[in-house]
């Protein structure tokens, strides 16, 4: 064999070896003659850059450019994921450590210091007739997900008519929450390396195919050159579908913004109570109530959009968990409207609307549960996860609707926040001496009760208000009952320590 032939054999062998190391067969297809024909959809999962088996240096030959670029993208993807994960953890820790009780007290003190002359007192002004902010188109359809923080900070249109002293106290109170909100919004807007590469490839191929099709009039039916070019670009860009890795962080970041907005609503409701005590004018109270309703509706709008984002990526667990935020926002929106109407001495059709809202909540709870079970092939572990993370919380929201209906019917009257705080203080300082959280629960209809001693349920009884089953056995709470988190949170604010028992932790 000549030296030239021997050289060709050696080089061919080396190529075959490197082709195998780089898994070239996973990136290209062959024709009937065993020659490379076209690109193939790249393999699933994260890939590492191919390296030489002898020197461990990266293989960057042009022959393996597609392989190396894919691995390079995966490394960038991992960096983005790590950065998003870290950012979400820090934001979550910051929001969890947010002392709403202290901020509320500081806010109350700041408002008390406002000279009476700066508050537009008097009740002769007519309140706005329209109480539903949604009909005012508060959020434009083209606003991003989540909505910009300027809707809630000092630039909010709802704050413009509010006296400057009240506005300044409010902006100072929510300053940290706004910072957390903006950080979470940045994570929600993060685009992964794979998505950017996919979009760039599709855009490049789209322009190429559109130029080729621009001279063709033989397209079938009503198909336009633009539609055909986009379809071809997506088909031949190298990926069967857009990457979905960044969807997880986008949805989880939205969850954080929902919790932050619920914190804002709680603080804003405290301010509303102070304004009522100060007997400010009806217009000021109406503007403030509009702002609260706008915050709640923004959660409702964003939760609906986040569900669609999760649905497109087939993230079934994210769908049902996001649905909880939607259900809670819908309840809070109506509960807020009830408070506004009742304070204005108006009942209108609230009872019928409450029953309709409760019925819709039950339908949504069953619908999302069914879709999740079907998508997960009715596997038992997934069904247990569904009950713990969606079923029980959703039932608690339905129970709040039922309690609201009872309230409108003139039955059970909910305990005010001030009364709840006095109850908790009495339990902490009385003969029971409850010093840790994990003792407060509620029946399916939202009526609260306390389990003393260790706080674990050891027997079942009946709710004195509605006769529902309460309690449980062997430290396991009845599945229809839930933690009374409003009382747990008040206990935390008043200095109750975390529960040392497994059944009382998480508050």
Which DSSP string corresponds to 273-321? HHHHHTTB-HHHHHHHHHHHHHHHHHHHHHHHHHHHHHHHTT-HHHHHH
Inform me whether the pLDDT recorded for 44 exceeds 50. yes
> Max alpha carbon distance in the chain (Å)?
109
With 0-12 CB in 10 A as exposed, 13-18 as middle and 19+ as buried, what is 418? exposed
**Is the pLDDT reported for residue 11 higher than 50?**
no
pLDDT of residue 207: 86
Q: Residues of the chain with pLDDT > 90: what percent?
A: 21
Would you state the pLDDT for residue 506? 55
Check residue 497 and report its DSSP letter: B
Q: Is the pLDDT of residue 286 over 90?
A: no
Q: How far apart are CA 429 and CA 291, in angstroms?
A: 38
Q: What distance in Å separates the CA atoms of residue 252 and residue 184, rounded to the nearest whole number?
A: 9
Q: Determine which of 14-18, 41-45, 89-93, 358-362 has the lowest per-residue pLDDT on average.
A: 14-18
Please give the C-alpha separations between residue 385 and each of 256, 389, 450, in angstroms, as whole numbers: 21, 6, 27
Query: Who has greater pLDDT, 279 or 128?
Result: 279
Look at residue 171 and tell me whether its pLDDT is greater than 60.
Answer: yes
| pLDDT exceeds 80 at position 392 | yes
For residues 248 and 348, which has the higher predicted lDDT (pLDDT)? 248
Binned at pLDDT 50, 70 and 90, residue 18 comes out as confident
- Highest mean pLDDT pick, 100-114, 271-285, 290-304: 290-304
Judging by beta carbons within 10 Å of its beta carbon (0-12, 13-18, 19+), is residue 161 exposed, middle or buried?
A: middle
∠ CA 260-266-270, nearest 5°, is 145
CA distances from residue 461 to 21, 392, 427, 434, 477 in whole angstroms, order as listed? 68, 19, 21, 21, 12
- CB count within 10 Å of CB 83 equals 13
Question: Do residues 104 and 264 touch, judged by C-beta distance below 8 A?
Answer: no
The answer to whether residue 194 scores a pLDDT higher than 70 is: no
pLDDT of residue 9: 44
Asked whether the predicted pLDDT for residue 178 surpasses 90, the reply is yes
Average pLDDT for residues 401-418, to the nearest whole number?
A: 75
Mean pLDDT, range 56-84, rounded to an integer: 78
Specify burial of residue 386 (Cβ count, 10 A radius: 0-12, 13-18, 19+).
Answer: buried
**Cβ(161)–Cβ(283) below 8 Å:** yes
| Phi/psi of residue 243, nearest 5 degrees | -60, 150
**pLDDT greater at residue 48 or residue 332:** 332
Peptide bond into 146 cis (omega under 30): yes
Q: Which value, to the nearest 10 degrees, does the dihedral of the CA atoms of residues 454, 460, 463, 466 take? A: 150
Q: Are 180 and 95 in contact (CB under 8 A)?
A: yes
Render pLDDT for 101-138 as a digit per residue (tens, 0 to 9). 788 788 878 877 777 666 666 544 444 444 444 444 45
Structure tokens, 335 = 């509960």
Q: How far apart are CA 507 and CA 489, in angstroms?
A: 7
Higher pLDDT, 27 or 221: 27
Statement: residue 467 has pLDDT above 80: no
Closest CA to 341 of 263, 404, 387, 396: 404
pLDDT for 12 beyond 50: no
Q: Where are the alpha helices (DSSP H) in 53-99?
A: 65-96
Rounded Cα distance, 298 and 147, in Å: 7
C-beta neighbour count of 61 within 10 angstroms: 12
Identify the DSSP state of 245: T
Of the pLDDT bands very low, low, confident and very high (cuts 50, 70, 90), residue 246 is low
Residues 406, 445 contacting (CB under 8 angstroms): yes
Residue 264 has pLDDT above 90, yes or no: yes
Q: Which of 345, 290, 286, 479 is nearest to 399 (CA)?
A: 479
CA angle 35, 242, 20 (to 5 degrees): 30
Q: Is the pLDDT of residue 176 over 80?
A: yes
Could you tell me which residue, 316 or 454, shows the higher pLDDT? 316
Share of the chain above pLDDT 70, in %: 82
Residue 443 CB-density burial (10 A; 0-12 exposed, 13-18 middle, 19+ buried): buried
Residue pLDDT, tens place only, 435-454: 888 888 888 877 888 888 88
Cβ neighbors of 27 (< 8 A, separation 6 or more) are 39, 40, 42, 43, 66, 67, 70
Looking at residue 131, what is its pLDDT?
Answer: 42
Greatest mean pLDDT range, 116-130, 304-318, 467-481: 304-318
Report the alpha-carbon distance of residue 486 to residue 91 in Å, rounded: 22
Q: Residue 260 pLDDT > 90, yes or no? A: yes
The pLDDT value given to residue 346: 65
Report the residue count for the chain: 507
Q: By mean pLDDT, which of 52-56, 90-94, 238-242, 256-260 is the weakest?
A: 238-242
Q: Would you state the pLDDT for residue 273? A: 83
Does residue 308 surpass a pLDDT of 90? yes
């Amino acid at each position: 064999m000549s030296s030239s032939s021997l050289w060709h054999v050696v080089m061919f062998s080396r190529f075959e070896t490197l082709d195998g190391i780089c898994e070239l067969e996973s990136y290209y297809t062959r024709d009937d003659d065993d020659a490379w024909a076209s690109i193939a959809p790249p393999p699933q999962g994260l890939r590492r850059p191919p390296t030489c088996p002898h020197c461990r240096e990266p293989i960057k030959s042009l022959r393996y450019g597609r392989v190396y670029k894919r691995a390079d993208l995966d490394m960038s993807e991992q960096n983005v994921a790590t950065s998003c994960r870290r950012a979400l953890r820090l934001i979550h820790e910051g929001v969890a450590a947010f002392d709403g009780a202290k901020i509320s007290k500081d806010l109350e003190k700041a408002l008390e210091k406002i000279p009476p002359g700066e508050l537009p007192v008097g009740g002769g002004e007519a309140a706005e007739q329209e109480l539903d902010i949604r009909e005012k188109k508060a959020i434009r359809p083209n606003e991003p997900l989540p909505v910009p923080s300027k809707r809630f900070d000092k630039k909010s249109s709802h704050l413009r008519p509010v006296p400057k002293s009240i506005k300044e106290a409010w902006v100072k109170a929510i300053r940290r929450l706004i910072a957390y909100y903006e950080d979470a919004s940045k994570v929600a807007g993060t685009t992964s390396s794979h998505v950017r590469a996919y979009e760039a490839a599709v855009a490049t191929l789209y322009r190429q195919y559109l130029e080729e099709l621009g001279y063709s009039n033989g397209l079938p039916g009503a198909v336009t050159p633009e539609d055909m070019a986009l379809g071809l670009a997506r088909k031949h860009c190298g990926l069967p579908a857009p990457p979905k890795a960044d969807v997880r962080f986008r949805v989880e970041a939205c969850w954080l913004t929902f919790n932050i907005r619920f914190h804002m609503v709680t603080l804003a409701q405290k301010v509303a109570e102070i304004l009522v005590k100060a007997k400010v004018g009806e217009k000021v109270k109406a503007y403030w109530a509009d702002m609260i309703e706008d915050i709640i509706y923004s959660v409702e709008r964003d939760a609906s959009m986040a569900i669609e984002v999760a649905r497109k990526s087939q993230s079934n667990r994210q769908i049902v968990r996001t649905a909880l935020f939607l259900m809670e926002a819908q309840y809070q929106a109506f509960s807020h409207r009830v408070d506004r109407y009742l304070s204005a001495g108006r009942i209108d059709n609230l009872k019928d609307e409450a029953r309709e809202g409760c019925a819709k909540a039950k339908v949504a709870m069953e619908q999302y549960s069914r879709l999740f079970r079907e998508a997960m092939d009715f596997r038992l572990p997934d069904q247990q996860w569904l009950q713990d993370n969606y079923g029980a919380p959703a039932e608690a929201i339905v129970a709040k609707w039922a309690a609201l209906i009872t309230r409108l019917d003139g039955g059970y009257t909910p305990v005010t926040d001030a009364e709840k705080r006095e109850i908790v203080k009495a339990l902490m300082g009385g003969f029971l001496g409850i010093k840790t959280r994990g003792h407060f629960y509620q029946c399916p209809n939202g009526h609260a009760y306390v389990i003393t001693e260790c706080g674990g349920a050891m027997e079942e009884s009946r709710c004195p208000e509605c006769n529902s089953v309460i309690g449980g056995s062997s430290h396991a709470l009845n599945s229809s009952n839930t933690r009374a988190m409003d009382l747990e949170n008040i206990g935390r604010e008043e200095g109750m320590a975390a529960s040392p028992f497994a059944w009382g932790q998480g508050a």
